[in-house]
Structures are given as C-alpha cells and as structure tokens.
Structure 1
Amino acid sequence: MKTIAVMVGNNQSEYINALLKDMDRISKERGIRILFFTGNRLPVECDDGSDGRDVSLREHQFSSIFDYITYGGCDACIICYGSMSGIPGVMPLDEILDKCSSIPVMTFEVKSNRDDVPYLIADNYKSMSSVVRHLAIEHGYKNVAYLSGPRDNYSAMMRLKAYMDVMEEAGNKKSMNNIYYGDYTTRVKRIIGRILDENPDIEAICCANDNMARACYSVCENRNLVVGKDIAITGFDDIEIASKLSPGLTTVKHDSNLFANLALDMAIAMSEGKAVESIEYPVNIITRSSCGCDIVDGVEEKPITNYSSVINDEYINNLNISHDELKGIAGSLAKENDKIKSYAWEVSFFVRDIIDSNIPSDRHYEELFERLKEIGLTNAYLFVHRTPLKYEVDEFVTEDRHMYFAGGFDEKGKVIVPHDDWKHHLVSSHKGFNQFLPEGDGNYHTYVLFSGEEQYGVVLCKAPMEENEYLLYISLQISNILHFFKIMRQEEKARAEMEISIERVKESNQILSFISRYDELTKILNRRGFMEQALATIHRRDGKEAVIMFADLDHLKEVNDCFGHGDGDFAIISAAKLLSGLMPRDGFCARIGGDEFVAFIPVPNDMTAKEQIDILKNKLKEAMFLFNLTCEKPYFIELSAGFHSFVCEEGMDLAKIIASSDEVLYEDKQKRRASIKKG
C-alpha cells in the first residue's frame, strides 16, 4: 500500500477543508493511505489570554508537526504550502524541501524554485483577470476595491497582479489605491468596513477568495447595502455555499475534487519513480448575480438582504431546498451540537480521572489508551521521544532525535503497549510510523504533543475530517497527561513541577477546579467547594427557604491525645459519613476546618424551616446512636450542631449566616458529654 504525506497549514479554510475531504475519500477509493500533517491553530474564540510569548511558542509548537514528515515512512509528499502562509513557525519552502529530500515531493498552490519539484496550481492570474475584466470592462465599474489574501501567499499575489494589470488595462488608476489585505478567512469584517468607509462611492469589491466574499455579504447586510444592486461582490474558489448565497456569488470554479484527484495522481506517479510534469490548470469564472448580472438560474431570483432573519418560505425557495431537506439539515446540526457538547464533557472527565487515579508508571500508557477508548476514539497510536525535546521558538526538531512506538489501540479495541526494551520499537527511517500501523486501514491525522517548551512526540488518529478540531482538543489533553506522567515518575523531586502542571491543566481546560473543591481526608466538599455550591444554589433558589447547619466533632483533641491521630482521622471520616447520610437529595455538606463541618439544606415547598430543622436534629441524634451502638471503638463519635434558617437572596452574606448557626452551635456544645470514652 502506498502512503502519501499531505502537509497543510490550516484546514479551517473551507476550500482547504473541502480539498482534504476529497483527498480522504479518493485515497480510500484507490486503496492508498494518507498521513495528514496539519499545522493546527486554536480558533480565536479559544484564546485563553496567554501572553504574546506563550501564544508564539504554542503556534510554533503546532507548526513543528512538519518536522515529523521524515518519520512518516511515506512514499511521496504533497506540500500545500499556500495554506501555511501567515502561520508562525513555518519554515521557508526551501527548508521544507531540504528536510523532505529523501522522498519525492510536489507542491500545491505554489511554485517551487527547483526543477526537480513539480507543482500543481490553478491558473490564478488568468482566472482572476477574467473576474476583474468582467467587473471593470463588461460592467464598466470605475471604483473597484480589491481584498487580497496574505502578502506571503503565492496564489494571493498572482490574483493581486491580475487585478492590477486589468485595472491598468482599463485605464483605471484610481483603483490602484483601493488594495487591502486580508487573511483568506471570514475574520476580515473590520477591513471590509474600512473599504466602505474610505470609499463611499464604491461600486464593487473583488475578493481573493470566497470566505472573504462571504464576510462582505454580512457587512453589506448590516449597512443596508443589497449585494448585486447597491454593490457588486465577487470571490474565488466556488466553495459549496457560494451558489447558495442570495444572490449567488460570482466566483472562480476552483474544483477541490478535481485538484485532489490531480494531486494524488501526481504523488502516486512520483512514488513509482515516474517523471511528473508541473500543471497550471485553467479554472473558469462562474457568473452569478452578486456582480450585478441579471441571472435567473431557473427561477426568478429574489435577493434576501436580511441573512440573519429566521428561515422563511422565500429563503427556502431561493435555496431550492425542500422543507423536509431543511428539517434534515437542522436535525443534523442539532445532533452535531449535542455531539460536540458530549465530547467536551467526556474529555473533561477523561483528564480528571487519569490525574485523580494513582496509576503505576508501568501502566501509564495502557491507562491512557483505555480512557481514550472510553471517550469514543476508535483508534490511536502514540509515538514518543524517550526524553522530551526542549523546543524553543525558531529552533526546530532534528531528524537525529529517535522516536519510539509507545503503544495504541485498533478499531477492535485491542490495546497494544510494548513492555520490552524500547530499542525494539524504534521508528525506522525507512518504514516510519507505518511499521506499527495496521495494514490497509485508512488515513490518519497526525498531531504534535507538547506542553510549554517540551515536546513529547505525536499521536496518530483515524477519524472523519470534520472531527479534526475535536481530535486537536484531545491531543492537547494527551499532551497534558503525558506531562503529568513525566512528573509522577520524578516523584518527590518533581512535586513543585507537578503543581505547575496541574495548574496549567486547570487554566487551559477549566475542568479540573474540582481538585481544589474536595477535602482530601473525607472526600466531601471543602470550604471553597461549599461556598461555590452554596452560592450557586442560593442563586437558583432565589426567594426560597433554606437551612444552614454548623456542626462540630465533639472532643476530637481527646481522641487524638488518648488514641492517636489515626483514630482522630477515623472520627473525622465517620462524622463526615454521618452528615452525608443525613443530606436530602439536594442538600450537601462540607468539612471547613479540623473538626468543623457545615451543611446546606433547602427547605421543601411543603415544609417550614422549623419542621426541617426538627427532622434534621432527630435524624442526627438517631444516626449517632446507631453508629456508636455498632462501632467497636472505645470512644463515642458525636457531633454538636447549630441550625439557622434563611431566605435565599442574591448577594446575601453567607459567611454571616454561617456565623449565626455557629452561635447556636455553641449552645448545643454545652450539652455534650464530658468525655467521649466508653464505659
């Protein structure tokens, strides 16, 4: 089976994502394997507020995935270098080509300077010339702005050159000052706003791709500009949604399926030692109504300007989608949303459970794979460096750092973890990762594993392309866990570092705060956990009655002095169990000091606070009696308790209420027995 490596910078681009999906599908049809090496970036909405150096280091760590190409054991490599523009830490193309010199390589959407490296690109210049000519000459627009892609992107610069040449040909030098630069994503709305503000008589915006054109639709809607009438908009790529926008987007047909087939054809031929010629493939303009053309497309077109409105019959008709189809789409979206929520929840507990469990070091990887199976992964294969690499910005991993197969599990759920000498599981330069992957079982996504400046290796997972972001999130958690495993192996010497690691996991996931919410000895809430849960309950039960119980373990000092601290711990744990057993379904208790406990008990709607307090007093008295009756310890375990009722109210001083119940507790303590010794 042939294995092709595909290097891509950012598959959050809709066109690149479509291209990768087509490659994924076509490779399975042809019986070849693809290893996807993606220089992922966290979405903007996941920004955790890290300082600039942390963000830069993280981005460089993501980009270091390209250094692992040499470990892939691949027969050929497709470098989608155009998608890497603007990503921190990406090496210059020549350096990547040097790194991949041992395997046949081709470039996609960029020309290399080497005669022995073929390329596949669209004829960006000719196709964009057709679009600009259509706007400036056929429509006669005089004020045309151009929204370009990144300055370091080959395709973007060729499309920009086409715009400049055609505008010069049309004698429109004014538009030469109307060039703006975006990043090929929809996050260009501020730039589009600038275009409209600086050019109040603007007639058209020519965008270097469809993503930025979509953003134009949104900005125009907010400014009550009707696309195709008040202003012309064009794009490039013809992504799936381009024809469904209203009005349809005039663009260039950059067929992802066609280019995926061509790229794989070239890569396979190269892997077989065949000579491959570069291809600059002609792509054509697709004229729709966004440019101002009066195109019907089989039905009378009724542009809808309020894209954020609820979907109505007119919109459905314009999309040519039936109500049943729309219901199906809505149902799929709802299921996908539920799936994402479920994933986030499962991953949260996956991390918590591993960090909470006391796993022997020789079972670290087995435990990791078992947990990965539990959260729904169908397979995963882990390759690590024996010693984590120290990775700093602009300092890349070198090939002489050996990698080893640490284990994994297949789609049948079989976990494989080597327990013999590491040298028997060295990733060879010839077969690479393939020597440990099942034969003929599909394509894999490759994710770099790192924490701070340390780099541990990579994990390979096989999953649908649309789950890439979920797998990225999983890989970040695996990174945290590998870091945790390393610290555990260092035992007491690394205790300080363990605390830093736990803090890092808490800050990055916001799912581990419970570690500090529970009392280590009794396993019930501690002071912080109680306050958080009590305030949340007060907020939820605003205007309803509740009871605070403040309890004190009687004569703990006497137990410690006479029987030892082990018995003191037993008494504290027993007291916690007694109180927990008293709690109704929605009540909770906590240990907030050495021998001090507090509980929060909501008052049911069919009961008064006094009735609730009386019930609690009787239950506590009965529970202590029964416990001491059967307990073989030579001392009594008893609690004094004070109760205070109140009405839940937002912003109330909970500490003051606890203090009030403490005062009542003092009265109860006067009634306790003089000594807790039996007999």
Structure 2
Amino acid sequence: MTKTRKTIGVMVGGITDDFTRFLCKGLREAAKEQDVNMVVLPGKFLDRDYAQNTDIMYEYQYDTLFSSVQKGRLDGIIVAANCIGCYTTKERMVEFMHHYDGIPCVLVSSDLEGYVNVSYDNDRGIRQGIDYLVQDLHYTKIGMVGGPKENSDAMERKATFESALWKNGILPQEKRYVEGDLTGNAHSTYARLLDDNPDLEAVFCVNDETAAGFYEELKARGLMPGRDISVFGYDDTEWCSQIYPTLSSVRADVSKLGSKACELLCRMMQGEKVSSVRLPTDLVIRNSFCRGNQEEVDARNDVLEKYESMNHWADELFGKQKRVNFEMKNFILKLLCFEKGTDQSFGEILATMEWLKIHNAFLYIYEEPVIHLNHELFQMPEQLLLKARELHGNVENIPAIHQKKKAKNIFRFSRLGMSDRAWMVTLPLYANEMLYGILVCDLTDEVLEYGEFLSNQISAAVKMLNLLKNNEDIQKQLEESLYVLKENNLELETLSKKDPLTGICNRRGFFEYAEPMLKKARAAEKTFLVLYADMNNLKIINDRYGHEEGDYSLHTIAEILAEIVQKEQTGDGVVARIGGDEYACALMTEKKKELLLQELYDAFTVRNEQSDKPYNVTVSIGACALEPGDEHSLADALSLADEQLYEVKKLRKKDVAKIPLQA
C-alpha cells in the first residue's frame, strides 16, 4: 500500500518580506528531508487599518487565504503568529488560533500559551551587544527603537535591553525608548528619538528592517552610523554586510526557525509529544559600531576594496533588474491579449508564468465572484472551479464537466495529478472588494520576490476575462431579446423609447424628448437643468438580498426622480433610465441646482426611513445648469453632469445595510 504524503500549511504575514523568505528557505530544506508537501498561505496582518493607505487598502483580501485552513484539508500547520498579529492584541490572536483547534500546530517566534513554539533566545545576543557598547566602547547613553507592544518578541527584546542596561549599571530612561512598527518606514518615530535625545551615543533596533529605516533618518540629518551614533539590529539579514556602513546585528537564523518548526511538527503528526525550543543568538560586530581612530584607518584601507566590490555587485544587480523588467513587461503584454472570456484563456494565463520558473500550478475560480468587505468574516465556498492546471511545465485547460472541485481537496496534490513532493504557495485573485478565486503554484525563489506582483497581474487578467464573458452573455441576451421582439411583432418604435423595468424613458427616449425641451428653454431664456444619477451599490444589493430587491431599488429611484421633476411647474421635464443603474433628468426650472439636489437627497432619506426594507436605496447625482446664452449641447451637459457625478461617487458609502453586518 502506497503511503500518502502529508501536507503542511504555513501561515505567514506576507510573501515578499525578509522574514518569510528566510523562513521558507529553512522550511523547504526540512520538507525535503521529511518528505512532506508544504503550501504557504501568505495572509497579511490581522486588524491592520488598511484604509489609511490607498495603495494597500484592499490587501485585507490576502487574509481570506486563512479560511482555507481546516481540519482534514491539511495534516498540520506552522504559524508565524507574531507576524500575522503584529497589529492586533494577544487576546485577538488567541481567538484567531482557536479557529484551528484540532490541527497539529507549531508556532514560529511566538509565545501563545498552550502551543509548541520555536523561537529565539533573545537574551544572549542582545546582552552581548549592550555589554560591548558599555564595556568596550564606554557608552552610557543608549536608546532603542522597539516594536508593537502586542508583539511578544518585541516585548522580550525590550525587556532584555533594559535588563542588560541595569546589569551594566545604567538606568533605562523612558525617553530613550520609542515604539516602532517593525518596518523601516516609521520615520516620525526615529525623529522623535533623536530630537528628544541629541546626546545619544548608540541605538539598538528591534530588527534589521527598523535599523535600515533608522539609517535613512540619520543620513538625512547629516549623521553617519558608526561615526556619530553606533547602531545594531536584530536578525542579521544578508544585506547587513552590503549596506554602508555595514550593520552590526544579532544573528538569529530565521531559516533554522523554519527547519526546526518543520521537524517538531512532523514528530507531532506522528504522535510524539514535543516541547518548545529556543534557538541561540550571537552578536555580529560590523562597522556600525564606532571604533574611534581605528575606524578611520580601516575606512581608508577598505575604500578601494569596497568600491570595487560594490561596483561588481551593482553591475550584477542592474543586469538582473534589466532582465526582470523585460520579463515583467512581456508578462503583462501577454495577459492583455485576450479577446474572449472563454475557458481556454485560463490556460493561457498559466502559460505566461515560465519566467518565474513555475512548473506546477492550479487556477481555481469561484463559481460566482464574491463581494468581501474589510472586517467581514469570509468563508471559502465549498466548491471551486479548476479552470486550468500546469504539471511539470505542461499546461492544460480543464473541460467544464471536470472543473468542479471540493474545497477540502485543493491541497491534496496527488489527486490533482502531482506525483512529486509539492512546495507551493496560495495567492488570492481579487480586484478591490471582489474576490474571483485563488492561484496555487510552485513557490520558487522568483515567486518569493515577485509573488505580490504575480497575484496582482493574474487578478487583473481574471477580472478582464470575467468582464469579457459578462459582455458576451449580455450581447447574447440582447440578440435573443431582439429576436423575440421581432418574432412577436411588437411595437418597436414605442418600446425603443421606454424602459420596460421602470416604465420611464430609456436613453433614446431621453434624447428625443429632452432636445426639443432644451430648444424651448433657450427660446424662453430659462435655465435648463440636466441631472446624471447613479444608484449606489446595486451589485451588493443583488448579491445579498436578491435580484428582485435590486429591481425594486431601480424602480424606487425612478419613482422618486419622477416625483421631484413633476413638482416643477415652470416647464416640461423628462426622467430616463439610460443604463443598468444610471438615470438622467432634464427640466426647465427657476430653482438653483443645489436646492433641487437637496430636495432629491431628502426624498431618498424619507423613503428609506418609511421603508421596511433592510437596506438603504441611495444615489449619487451630478448636475449641470445651462443658463440662458450657454451654447453647450444636451450631450455636453450630460457629460459635464457625469464628471460631477464621478467626484460625488468618491464619497459614497459601500455598506447598504441599515443595521451593519457583524464581522
């Protein structure tokens, strides 16, 4: 009987950061030794406020990957809990981990009670650093850039830092400690530390990324690390010996965390009882520690060697980047060549990924796109459509009758045709709040570097295919509708001016009735007002409450617009539905457009308050007033109103429920 290879899930915060990259390096080697499949699930960060940065405001969709982790789908999980939870509380992290009760689990660099954990011995390396600064360099004014108080590693490093100062007879001062965010972007934090402590002699940074950001702040002030202020970091990432001046750092080999975590989890899955492990750390001294006159001598002696080394490294980097830029452009061009939204196009998507050295991949699409707003609970659909797969470099489209796959089997790689051991990553396919599916593919070194770019571009391609397919379906429906109309000998001339759903005019009727009204207004030297209205959130109402409720909403908008327009007694008026959720109004009026717009918005407010529907029906409206003497055409006025509508829509709320949905 053939032994089934076990599959381990690795839950991390992001795919392209240094921690994940080095963790995966150790995991990959250990998975090979243990002969297990491994799939990395790069979520992001629980409870992070994405709305503050428009560049990343939809990255919360990465967290939906964690919903694929369920008992029976994976044999065990390795969780970088401190990384995932660096923006949230310990209590929230405990609640998060309870979702995976019953699955063998090992945490990496985290200390949640009740879990086996592989972490660093933070104490040793940090103490070595402080001892060196005090005893060898005779410093007494030492500061620290720490991490969030919710991060146990950051708090342990702070405690060790303060303890080491006490041991050396130095009283820790509150103003010499600032809390960063574990990235190199907290420049206001670095600035506060330097402004409040102009006499600082040395600074310990909670990790190397923080140290890199602190370097930038020092150099911006004309200060040189290693000459004016000594600096040391934590992790000893590979670029510590490449930046200038080279960074002293506590060597904490992340890859060893990964390999040890894999070893412990495999033993746990075999029924063994295992305990938490702490791995040793050591200080690596480089040029970011001031060395007085000797440093100046060393710098003079090393300058030519460093210059030649940096030139060679820069040439290699430039050549690599040039090749990558070419591959990226070629990749994007291939993804933009689709003409039809057919299933064959999904195979073409997988065929574009060879530049990332991907040889195995599975492209899953949800049967219908899913709207997922931030902070809402997400549950992966029980069934997905496997549109295409790549095995050993051979891409094939899956016939429609074989596409349906149960979500519980998406990580059972042998059932999907893979005979070799799997080393994979799962990436979300999304556009803003719309989720389309997932991509499961080989986790190569190239994917570790460009994985988010890959996810973004494949997502854009899938969205394009979805739009093309919808357009083709609509075109087909239109053709069928026209055929039925002709077959039944309907009064096409009348119907062509009327919207069948709401009973008001359609686009053609709008222009036919509004054009003579505009001429009449100009002859009478009256103001002619053109409105362009757009229903807010029709897609959300259709998906959550049903298409009948969507139709009801469209009809309600037509009624309210018609009521307000008909109340104007100064001339003729017309109301039309000119698109799926778009309306146009035209009328002669003596009112200011702002007053009429307010009457419209008030009418919607009253209708929603009186309605027993669980949702609000709202619109965004743009307006253009053609005053006497204004020569703009009706089409011009509609375009100007549409431009104003575009600005108004930026302020619309995306939640329609009268009682907000609970996350």
Change (3 A) 1:166 1:202: same
Task: Select the residue among 398, 404, 409 that pairs with 2:379.
Answer: 398
Change (3 A) 1:22 1:149: same
Q: Distance in 2 between the 1:412 and 1:438 partners? A: 12
Quote the offset at 1:467 in angstroms.
3.2
**Could you say which residue in structure 2 is the equivalent of 1:419?**
400
Computing the radius of gyration from Cα coordinates, the structure with the larger value is 1
Q: Would you say 1:62 and 2:43 are equivalent positions?
A: no
Q: Distance in 1 between the 2:356 and 2:130 partners? A: 50
Task: Select the residue among 423, 427, 434 that pairs with 1:443.
Answer: 423
Quote the offset at 1:326 in angstroms.
6.1
TM-score (normalizing by structure 2): 0.62
Q: Distance in 2 between the 1:420 and 1:374 partners? A: 31
SS at match of 1:490: helix
> CA contact under 8 A between 2:427 and 2:440: conserved in structure 1?
yes
Per mean C-alpha deviation after superposition, the further-off stretch among 242-251 and 436-445 is 242-251
Please, what is the CA RMSD of the aligned residues?
Answer: 3.6
> CA contact under 8 A between 2:76 and 2:265: conserved in structure 1?
yes
Quote the offset at 1:287 in angstroms.
3.5
Change (3 A) 1:161 1:271: same
Q: Distance in 1 between the 2:313 and 2:273 partners? A: 45
Q: How many residues align?
A: 467
State the AA in 1 paired with 2:59.
E
**Could you say which residue in structure 2 is the equivalent of 1:212?**
210
Task: Select the residue among 31, 37, 47 that pairs with 1:33.
Answer: 37
Quote the offset at 1:253 in angstroms.
1.6
Structure 1 segment 126-145 matched on structure 2, within 5 A: 126-136=124-134, 139-145=137-143
Structure 1 segment 223-372 matched on structure 2, within 5 A: 223-245=221-243, 247-292=245-290, 302-303=298-299, 314-315=302-303, 317-318=305-306, 329-354=313-338, 357-359=339-341, 361-372=342-353
Quote the offset at 1:52 in angstroms.
4.6
**Could you say which residue in structure 2 is the equivalent of 1:155?**
153
Q: Would you say 1:483 and 2:459 are equivalent positions?
A: no
Change (3 A) 1:65 1:155: same
Gaps of 5+ in 1: 42-49, 305-312, 496-679
**Could you say which residue in structure 2 is the equivalent of 1:178?**
176
Gaps of 5+ in 2: 476-663
Change (3 A) 1:288 1:352: closer
State the AA in 2 paired with 1:418.
P
Change (3 A) 1:91 1:407: farther
> CA contact under 8 A between 1:383 and 1:458: conserved in structure 2?
yes
Quote the offset at 1:274 in angstroms.
1.6
Identity of aligned pairs, percent? 21
State the AA in 2 paired with 1:83.
C
Q: Distance in 1 between the 2:459 and 2:96 partners? A: 25
State the AA in 2 paired with 1:37.
L
Quote the offset at 1:174 in angstroms.
6.0
Task: Select the residue among 439, 447, 453 that pairs with 1:467.
Answer: 447
Deviation string 1:501-551 (CA, Å, 9 cap, x unpaired) is: xxxxxxxxxxxxxxxxxxxxxxxxxxxxxxxxxxxxxxxxxxxxxxxxxxx
Quote the offset at 1:400 in angstroms.
6.0
Task: Select the residue among 379, 385, 395 that pairs with 2:366.
Answer: 385
SS at match of 2:235: coil
Quote the offset at 1:76 in angstroms.
1.7
Q: Distance in 2 between the 1:132 and 1:160 partners? A: 12
> CA contact under 8 A between 1:209 and 1:236: conserved in structure 2?
yes
SS at match of 1:392: coil
Q: Distance in 1 between the 2:313 and 2:179 partners? A: 34
**Could you say which residue in structure 2 is the equivalent of 1:18?**
22
**Could you say which residue in structure 1 is the equivalent of 2:122?**
124
TM-score (normalizing by structure 1): 0.61
Quote the offset at 1:3 in angstroms.
2.4
SS at match of 1:475: helix
Q: Distance in 1 between the 2:145 and 2:317 partners? A: 31
> CA contact under 8 A between 1:56 and 1:88: conserved in structure 2?
no
Change (3 A) 1:238 1:377: closer
Deviation string 1:8-30 (CA, Å, 9 cap, x unpaired) is: 10344334422223323443455
Quote the offset at 1:208 in angstroms.
0.9
Quote the offset at 1:399 in angstroms.
5.4
State the AA in 2 paired with 1:34.
M
Change (3 A) 1:487 1:131: same
Change (3 A) 1:374 1:194: closer
Quote the offset at 1:281 in angstroms.
2.4
Structure 1 segment 610-649 matched on structure 2, within 5 A: none
Q: Distance in 2 between the 1:88 and 1:446 partners? A: 24
Q: Distance in 2 between the 1:74 and 1:260 partners? A: 18
**Could you say which residue in structure 1 is the equivalent of 2:388?**
407
**Could you say which residue in structure 2 is the equivalent of 1:621?**
none
Quote the offset at 1:168 in angstroms.
4.4
> CA contact under 8 A between 2:44 and 2:84: conserved in structure 1?
no
> CA contact under 8 A between 1:72 and 1:432: conserved in structure 2?
no
